[in-house]
Amino acid sequence: MNTLKTIMSLALALLLAAVLASCVKKNPLAGDQRIFAGKWVAADGTFIVIYNDGGGDLKTSNSSITGGKTTFAGDTITIGLGPITKKMKITAKPKESGGKWVMVLDGFDYKKE
């Protein structure tokens, strides 16, 4: 019986997450922001994915967002879903270096995959 409660709780949580993700209003990336689109990975495995439709995913050591919203404000990128958000300072915008695209967020190098 306890296992059934756990399974039901997990199913409800997944359903709630899916509903929240579908309700997030996203704004497509503007022309100058499209250079940020793609999957960007840091040396420690942290990654962000920025979609052209304004969506975003994030995985850090203590946070995970799937189906969130990506916003740009000045030199900051924010990826969020409901109350869970992660703000990152754009230390260096994406540029090609040695045949790879690289950008720096919060002082850490991210390479485009």
In this prediction, residues 42-68 reach a mean pLDDT of 95
pLDDT at 50: 98
- Is the pLDDT assigned to residue 38 strictly greater than 80? yes
**What's residue 101's pLDDT?**
97
> What's the average model confidence in pLDDT over 71-78?
97
Measured CA to CA in angstroms, residue 108 lies from 38, 88, 91 at distances of 17, 10, 8
Burial label for 109, CB within 10 Å (0-12, 13-18, 19+), is middle
Look at residue 1 and tell me whether its pLDDT is greater than 70.
Answer: no
Torsion sign, CA atoms 26, 66, 56, 84 = positive
Reply yes or no on whether the pLDDT at 22 is more than 70: no
Distance CA 95, CA 113 (A): 13
Options 2.40.128, 1.10.10, 3.30.780, 2.60.40; which CATH number does 2-112 get?
2.40.128
* Residue pointed to by tokens 């689109």: 37
Please determine, for residue 24, whether its predicted confidence score (pLDDT) is greater than 90. Answer: no
Residue 19 pLDDT level (bands cut at 50, 70, 90): low
